[in-house]
Each structure stands twice: as structure tokens, then as C-alpha cells.
């Protein structure tokens, strides 16, 4: 998140209330299009959606007001914001990471039936990995991260990503198709066992 | 208590145990525990996500085996969540937040071994006791549940909605927003009573509705990955190595805390949407109060791990009472269990005890077995789980993304679902970012359609009279209770003596 109290932060905080309000409007409008079929129940298929949509429309402005109020409070006194669940608040958000991860899932969605599970997942894995900084470990076996960002280093990391991606995709493929009998599209690799 | 009901229950449990210790079922329990722990220890992957990710694994087994494996995954995931809370200070779900308070302090002081051990044994003790109480209690709840008609169910669901909103998360309004959004998502698809598509925009893939597991994976797994990628800085954890076993003093301090934690956790788990946040915090407060040296709290007091862990596990196990007997999932984890049932077309509820007794009792018995397997497995394997945490973040999260896609695609072989997963992930990110609790959304998605169905049925029975909803004492008092809880903040404000500050 950009520094609390800035207009950009306010806009980001308003995203969820706006989404909820938009969703409520959609639900209410759609509900009016549902024909009230003459069933036995006096409450037809459009009643519940109308109520739920109305509740969304009711809550959204209240949430927006809350976001605006906490924004105003931040503008005066910048306090550390407590995010939930407990996460280490980052100093600089890496917004570009969103792009990498969304691309990864999009590639998965586009590719899984066109080129097959294994190739699509390899690409998705590598794309998703790019969202995270190099040499970032989650635990005790931390490698000492140094700031030398030479291109050779980047190339080696990418190569490593591909190696892990290929191993991971093939292992899951075998585990789920051969091991558990799940059907996954083989695509380009129709010669694989389990296809 | 009517002794015959209890006796029947014990008998059924014994039969269930026979089912659970059949060699192949034992193997499933073992496999489930192993996989559940392995996935559950990954940071950012809480028990609910673990269950969602591993749901497809069980899809090809027959129901009993699948449920037993699922029970193993469930316990493994719970334990894995505590492990990350202790070692990395990253609680995978709200129930382990308290564990991380003292647990991570202990780990930093070189006492990770005893902290993990007291968590494991505490969970074991609590799980064992709680499962036994579930076995005794469930038949009684079933008897009550059989008195429930649509109006009573609707009232109960309304109560659950209110308590979910109030207890899960810090901000009621955000909880309500998440819940309502979840209910709205549950409306998508063909209306069961009239056969009309609703909110589907003419997209055939949406006619069957949106899968709960898909939404859970999007919100939890993808959303969490997005959040971690954007907001989390690299953090190095300083873990000291030290003695792995608990000392005599650790034992002496732990066991009363385990028992107290169990006693605190169980009742909360039984209440619709009682949650585990309150009992774990309560247990922590109780242990601190009773401790001879409360100043040790905040610096790695073992009671502060033992009590809340037991409370957490007892609460989660107790949640099986409303889940099995009433079909009401009261936590995100229980919701995933329900999704597991629904995968076989089984609707938990009082009738399941009658129609599928061997399945229900097999599951309860396998919880007992799973608990034992877990302890046997995890005490020796702690070192391995710690090493698993050394996986670089980029590969860890990339693997989670791929796994979420696999799980989603595996459900209905539909690439369209992956786009839904993407959308759910973005919403999950937005919710995390704005501090919305995620669990109410999943619970709303599951319970929303149930509530609508019961409401319409109840009104059909009362021939459209709204008064039919409050006609019986049970439904009237449940609705009254819901109203009271909903209005509590306003009421307590009014009757509280005026304070100068605030």
C-alpha cells in the first residue's frame, strides 16, 4: 500500500466498498429480470437476490465512509496500520508482482486445454516465480542475499526457475494422473504416461 | 442422559474404530497426515487452504477411505499451521495467532523443540478428549436436530450469519460485507426450486454455480500469494537450535494448560460460528492469570503455547458437532470438510447419522486414529518440517499457484473455472488489503443457498405467512438471540454507565 493518508491509498481502500456496491447493483438489477414463476412458495426466485443485493448496496456506502474516515485520521497522524492476519508490513509494495501472478493464472487458463497441463503449468510456475525477489527464503536456511544484480545472475535464477518448474509440473502430473487417476489434458505431451 | 442413546453411540464408535483401523484405511490416515502436515507447514497455507488443495487427492477414493484420509489431512494441516506459527511467526489461520505469541518467542530463544512438542501433545490431548465428547454429544444433537423444520433451520442459519459477522474479524461491518458477498456468490446458478438461471449472465459454465473449493482457493491461496508478493518484505528468521525434548518442568507446566484449554475451546466450537479466536485468546489470558510468574509471558512461556493450542484443537474438533449433526460449518476449515462431503453428494445433517452411520462413525473414529498417527509422525519429523521452510519463497508460492490451478481444474475439467479462480484471487487480495475477514465469505457461500432454501420451504409450509417463521418456540428464540447479538453493540452502549473518556 502506498503511504497511508495519500489520495492513492484512499482510492485503494475504496476499491472493496466500490466493488461491493457494484456487485449489489448487479444483483438487484439481475434479480428483477428473473421471472416470478408461479411456484407453491410465495417467495419466488427473485426475492432472496433482491434482499441480498439491497443489503450489499446498504453496506457498501457505510464501508466507504469507514475507509474515508480512517484515511482522514491517517492524514493527520500517520500510525502504523495493523493488517490482518498478522503480516509484516512492507515498506515498499511491489505492485508489479500483481502483474506477474495474474499473468501466471491467465496463462494457465488459456493454456491448460490448448497446450496441455505440463507445458502450461511450467510457464505459469516461472511467471509466478518472477513476482518474488531472488534469494528470498521463508525460513532458517536463508542464503545470504547480496545486491549484485548482474544479468548473469538473473539468467541463472531464471534457469533455476525453469528447472524447478519442469520437475514440479512433471511430478504433479505423474502423481495425479498415474497415481490418482485424475484426468488432465496432455496437450503437446500426449506421449507421456498417464495421458 | 438416556443410557441407551449413549450406549448405541459407543457401540457405533467401536464399529467405526474397526473401520478406521482396517489396514488400507490406516494407510489413508497416515498418508493424509503426512500430506496435510507437509502442505500445512508451508507459510501462508492455513488448514482451510490445505484441505482445499488436497481435496482432489481424495476424489478417486470411495467415501469412507476419502473421509478418513481427509481427517488425516485435517489434523495434519492444523498441526502444520501451528508449526509455522511457532517457527516463522506466520500463523496460517486465526486460531494459531495466539500460539505464535509465546511459541515464536520460545523458538527465538532456542526452545523451538519443546514449543512444537507441547503444541503437538496439547493438540493430541485436546483432540482425543474433544473427539470423545463429540461421539457422546452428536447423537443428542441429532435428536434435537430431528425436531427442526425449515423455519427452525432458517432461524439457526440466521443466528449463524450473525455470529459469523460478529466473531470472525475485528470489524463487524467488514465481516458483514464479506458474508453478504459470499451469499451473493452462492446465488449464482440454476435456482433449485424453479429451474431458472440466476445471475449467470447466460454463461453456461455458471449454471451449475460457483464451486466452494474454487472460491476458497482463490480467496485464500491465490489471494494470499498476491498479498505476500506485493506487501511482504524478505524477513530472515533467527532460529536457535536447542534441546528438542520437553523437560520435566515443561511437562509440569503444560498438562494443566492442555486440560484447561480443552475445556475452554470445546464449548465455543459447538456454538454456530463460535470460532476459535475467542477461546484461544481466552485460554491465553487464563494461563497468564493462573501462572505463578506471569512476567514470563511475552518472553516464551510454555503455558501460553500449551493452553491456546489445546483450545484451538478442541474448538475445531467440537465444530464437528454442528457440522455433522446439523450440516452447519462454523469455520472455514469445517466448511472445507463440508465441501468434501458434498463431493460425494452427501449432505451432513441429522439424516446422515441414520442413512450413513458407518461413514459418520468411521469419520469420528478416524479422527481418533488420525490424532494418534499425527503424534507418532510429527514428533520425529519436526526436523524435516523445519527444513521444508527453507524452500525459496518464489518457488513455494509459484508451486501454490500451480497447485491451486490443478485443484480447481481437477474438479470439473473446466478452463473457465481458472478464470473464476483468477477473479476470486483478486477479490481475496483486495479483502486482505482492506482488512476484510475471508472466512465469512466462504461460510456465506455455503450457508446462503441453504438459508434461502429453508426460508422458501418454511414460507411454503406456512402458506406465505411470515409469522410462520416465528411460530415455534425454537425458531422464535433462535431469531431473538440473533437479534440480540446483532444489536448488542448498540444495547451495551446504551446501558453502560457514561465514561468520561470516549
Question: Would you give per-residue pLDDT tens digits along chain A (195 residues)?
Answer: 445 557 777 888 899 999 999 999 999 998 888 776 555 556 788 888 999 999 999 999 999 998 888 888 776 654 444 444 444 444 577 888 999 999 999 999 999 999 999 999 999 999 999 998 875 444 433 344 444 445 677 778 889 999 999 999 999 888 778 876 777 888 888 777 777
Burial (CB < 10 A; 0-12, 13-18, 19+), residue B57, is buried
Q: Read off the pLDDT of each residue in B458-466 and give the average, rounded to a whole number.
A: 84
Q: Under a CB-based contact definition with an 8 Å cutoff, are residues B389 and B43 in contact?
A: yes
In a domain? residue B98: yes
- Does residue B267 fall inside a structural domain? yes
Minimum mean pLDDT among B232-241, B333-342, B410-419, B446-455: which range?
A: B232-241
Phi/psi of residue B198, each to 5°? Answer: -125, 140
Q: How far is B40 from chain A (nearest CA, A)?
A: 14
Question: What's the pLDDT score for residue A147?
Answer: 43
Full residue range of the structural domain in which residue B399 is found: 3-491
Q: Note down the domain range covering A176.
A: 96-136+150-189
**Smallest CA–CA distance from B184 into chain A, residue:** A52
Nearest CA in chain B to A15: B430
Contact B73, B31 (CB under 8 A): no
The reported pLDDT for the residue numbered B92 is 62
Torsion of CA B285, B290, B292, B294, to 10 degrees: 10
Specify whether A159 is located in the same domain as A102. yes
Three-state secondary structure call for residue B247: coil
How many contiguous H segments (helices) and E segments (strands) does chain A have? 5, 0
Same domain? For A26 and A103 the reply is no
Strand B197-198 to B189-190 pairing: antiparallel
Q: Say how many domains are in chain B.
A: 1
* CB–CB contact A90 B173 (8 Å): no
Which residues from A are below 8 Å from B43, CB to CB?
138
Q: What is the model's pLDDT at position A40?
A: 55
Are residues A180 and A114 both part of a single domain? yes
Annotate A14-30 with three-state secondary structure: HHHHHHHHHHHHHHHHH
- N- to C-terminal Cα distance for chain A? 44
Q: What's residue B502's pLDDT?
A: 41
Residue closest to B120 by CA, chosen among B272, B245, B249: B245
Regarding whether A158 and A101 lie in a shared domain, the answer is yes
Which phi and psi angles does B442 have, rounded to 5°? Answer: -70, -40
How far, rounded to the nearest angstrom, does the alpha carbon of residue B441 sit from its chain's CA centroid?
Answer: 13
Least confident of A104-108, A140-144, B66-70, B419-423: A140-144
B23-40 helix and B3-20 helix, angle to the nearest 10 degrees? 80
Residue B97 domain-assigned (yes or no): yes
- Quick one: residue B110, left, alpha or beta (phi over 0 = left, psi -120 to 50 = alpha)? left
Residue A110: what pLDDT? Answer: 95
pLDDT at A79: 47
Average pLDDT, integer, range B130-149: 80
Long-range contacts of B285-294 (CB under 8 A, 24+ apart): B286/B260, B287/B257, B287/B260, B287/B261, B290/B260
Mean pLDDT (chain B) is: 80
User: For residue B325, how many other CB atoms are within 10 A of its CB?
Assistant: 26
- The arithmetic mean of pLDDT across residues B281-310, rounded, is 84
What is the DSSP annotation of B426-451? HHHHHHHHTT--SHHHHHHHHHHHHH
Is A18 within a domain?
yes
Identify whether A143 is part of a domain. no
> Which pLDDT value is given to residue A51?
93
Radius of gyration of chain A (CA): 24
Answer yes or no: do A34 and B198 touch at CB < 8 A: yes
Q: Which grid coordinates belong to B40?
A: 500445512
- Same domain for A127 and A178, yes or no, is yes
Total structural domains in chain A? 2
B193, A45: Cβ pair inside 8 Å? yes
Segment among A68-77, B193-202, B405-414, B476-485 with least mean pLDDT: A68-77
pLDDT at A81: 47
Is B332 within 8 Å of B439 (Cβ atoms)?
A: yes
Take residue B262 and report the three cell numbers written for it: 480443552
- B410 within domain boundaries: yes
Mean pLDDT of B421-442: 90
The answer for residues whose C-beta is within 8 angstroms of residue B497's C-beta and 6 or more apart is none
Chosen domain end from A76, A104, A119: A76
Q: What is the mean pLDDT of residues B41-48?
A: 70
Residue B501 domain-assigned (yes or no): no
pLDDT, average across residues B121-146 = 83
- Answer yes or no: is B498 within a domain: no
More confident call, B271 vs A23: A23
Predicted confidence (pLDDT) at residue B31 exceeds the cutoff of 50: yes
A83 and B435 in contact by Cβ < 8 A? yes
Distance CA A104, CA A126 (A): 8
pLDDT attached to residue A37 = 58
In terms of C-beta density within 10 A (0-12 exposed, 13-18 middle, 19 or more buried), how is residue B295 classed? Answer: exposed
Q: What pLDDT score does A151 carry?
A: 65
What pLDDT, in 10s, does the model give residues B167-207? 666 688 898 999 999 999 999 988 877 778 888 888 888 88
Average of per-residue pLDDT across B26-42: 83
Q: pLDDT-based confidence at B1, cuts 50/70/90?
A: very low
The verdict on residue B499 lying in a domain is no
User: Is B13 within 8 Å of chain A by CB?
Assistant: no
Tell me if B386 and A63 make a contact (CB, 8 A cut-off): no
Give a yes or no: residue A126 inside a domain. yes
Distance of CA B11 to the CA centre of its chain: 28
Q: Do B181 and A95 touch (CB under 8 A)?
A: no
Extract the C-alpha cell encoding B316.
475445531
Full-model pTM: 0.79
Grid cell, residue A141, equals 536456511
- Residue B47 confidence (pLDDT) above 80: no
Q: Which helix (H) or strand (E) holds B374?
A: helix B357-388
The answer to whether the CB of B319 falls within 8 A of the CB of B271 is: no
A21: in domain? yes
Residue B500 within a domain: no
Mean pLDDT throughout B8-35?
80
Residues in chain A: 195
Is there a single domain that holds both residue A60 and residue A125? no
The dihedral built from the CA positions of residue A182, A183, A187 and A191, taken in this order, carries a sign that is positive
Beta-carbon pairs below 8 A across chains A and B? 282
In tens, the pLDDT along B329-387 reads 766 777 777 777 777 777 777 777 777 777 778 778 888 888 888 888 877 777 776 66
Amino acid at each position: 500500500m502506498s503511504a497511508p493518508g495519500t489520495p492513492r491509498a484512499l482510492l485503494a481502500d475504496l476499491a472493496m466498498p466500490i466493488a461491493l456496491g457494484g456487485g449489489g447493483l448487479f444483483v438487484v438489477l439481475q434479480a428483477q429480470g428473473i421471472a416470478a414463476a408461479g411456484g407453491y412458495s410465495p417467495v419466488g426466485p427473485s426475492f432472496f437476490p433482491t434482499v441480498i443485493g439491497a443489503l450489499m448496496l446498504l453496506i457498501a456506502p457505510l464501508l466507504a465512509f469507514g475507509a474515508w474516515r480512517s484515511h482522514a485520521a491517517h492524514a493527520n497522524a500517520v500510525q502504523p496500520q495493523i493488517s490482518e492476519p498478522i503480516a509484516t508490513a512492507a515498506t515498499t509494495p511491489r505492485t508489479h508482482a500483481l502483474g506477474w501472478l495474474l499473468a501466471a493464472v491467465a496463462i494457465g487458463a488459456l493454456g491448460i486445454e490448448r497446450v496441455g497441463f505440463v507445458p502450461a503449468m511450467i510457464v505459469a510456475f516461472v511467471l509466478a516465480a518472477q513476482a518474488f525477489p531472488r534469494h528470498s527464503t521463508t525460513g532458517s536456511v536463508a542464503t545470504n542475499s547480496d545486491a549484485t544484480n548482474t544479468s548473469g545472475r538473473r539468467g541463472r535464477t531464471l534457469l533455476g526457475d525453469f528447472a524447478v518448474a519442469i520437475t514440479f509440473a512433471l511430478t504433479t502430473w505423474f502423481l495425479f494422473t498415474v497415481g490418482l487417476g485424475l484426468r488432465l489434458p496432455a496437450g503437446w505431451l500426449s506421449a507421456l504416461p498417464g495421458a | 442422559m438416556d443410557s441407551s442413546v449413549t450406549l448405541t453411540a459407543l457401540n457405533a464408535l467401536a464399529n467405526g474404530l474397526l473401520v478406521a483401523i482396517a489396514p488400507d484405511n490406516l494407510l489413508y490416515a497416515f498418508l493424509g497426515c503426512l500430506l496435510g502436515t507437509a502442505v500445512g507447514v508451508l507459510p501462508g497455507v492455513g488448514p482451510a487452504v490445505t484441505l482445499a488443495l488436497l481435496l482432489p487427492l481424495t476424489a478417486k477414493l470411495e467415501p469412507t477411505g476419502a473421509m478418513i484420509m481427509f481427517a488425516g489431512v485435517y489434523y495434519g494441516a492444523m498441526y502444520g499451521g501451528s508449526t509455522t506459527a511457532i517457527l516463522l511467526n506466520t500463523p496460517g489461520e486465526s486460531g494459531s495467532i495466539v500460539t505464535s505469541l509465546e511459541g515464536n518467542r520460545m523458538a527465538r530463544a532456542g526452545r523451538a523443540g519443546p514449543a512444537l512438542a507441547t503444541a503437538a501433545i496439547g493438540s493430541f490431548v485436546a483432540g482425543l478428549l474433544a473427539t470423545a465428547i463429540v461421539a457422546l454429544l452428536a447423537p443428542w444433537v441429532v435428536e434435537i436436530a430431528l425436531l427442526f423444520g425449515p423455519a427452525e433451520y432458517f432461524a439457526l442459519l440466521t443466528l449463524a450469519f450473525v455470529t459469523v459477522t460478529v466473531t470472525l474479524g475485528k470489524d463487524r461491518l467488514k465481516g458483514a460485507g464479506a458474508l453478504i458477498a459470499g451469499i451473493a456468490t452462492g446465488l449464482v446458478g440454476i435456482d433449485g426450486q424453479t429451474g431458472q438461471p440466476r445471475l449467470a449472465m447466460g454463461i453456461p459454465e455458471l449454471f451449475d454455480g460457483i464451486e466452494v473449493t474454487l472460491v476458497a482457493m482463490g480467496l485464500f491461496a491465490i489471494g494470499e500469494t498476491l498479498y505476500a508478493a506485493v506487501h511482504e518484505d524478505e524477513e530472515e528468521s533467527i532460529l536457535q537450535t536447542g534441546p528438542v525434548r520437553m523437560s520435566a518442568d515443561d511437562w509440569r507446566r503444560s498438562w494443566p494448560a492442555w486440560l484447561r484449554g480443552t475445556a475452554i475451546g470445546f464449548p465455543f466450537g459447538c456454538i454456530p460460528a463460535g470460532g476459535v479466536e475467542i477461546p484461544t485468546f481466552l485460554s491465553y489470558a487464563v494461563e497468564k492469570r493462573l501462572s505463578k510468574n506471569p512476567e514470563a509471558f511475552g518472553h516464551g512461556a510454555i503455558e501460553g503455547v500449551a493452553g491456546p493450542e489445546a483450545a484451538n484443537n478442541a474448538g475445531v474438533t467440537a465444530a464437528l458437532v454442528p457440522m455433522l449433526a446439523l450440516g452447519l460449518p462454523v469455520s472455514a476449515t469445517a466448511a472445507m470438510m463440508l465441501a468434501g462431503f458434498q463431493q460425494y453428494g452427501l449432505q451432513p445433517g441429522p439424516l446422515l447419522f441414520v442413512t450413513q452411520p458407518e461413514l459418520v462413525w468411521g469419520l469420528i473414529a478416524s479422527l481418533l486414529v488420525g490424532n494418534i498417527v499425527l503424534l507418532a509422525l510429527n514428533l520425529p519429523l519436526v526436523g524435516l518440517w523445519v527444513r521444508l521452510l527453507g524452500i525459496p519463497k518464489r518457488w513455494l508460492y509459484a508451486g501454490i499457484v500451480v497447485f491451486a490451478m490443478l485443484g480447481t481444474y481437477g474438479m470439473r475439467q473446466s478452463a473457465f473455472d481458472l478464470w473464476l479462480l483468477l477473479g476470486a484471487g483478486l477479490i481475496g487480495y483486495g479483502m486482505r488489503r482492506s482488512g476484510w475477514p475471508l472466512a465469512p465469505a466462504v461460510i456465506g457461500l455455503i450457508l446462503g443457498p441453504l438459508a434461502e432454501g429453508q426460508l422458501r420451504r418454511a414460507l411454503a409450509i406456512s402458506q406465505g405467512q411470515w409469522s410462520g417463521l416465528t411460530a415455534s418456540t425454537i425458531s422464535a428464540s433462535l431469531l431473538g438471540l440473533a437479534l440480540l447479538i446483532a444489536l448488542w453493540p448498540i444495547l451495551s452502549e446504551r446501558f453502560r454507565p457514561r465514561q468520561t473518556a470516549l
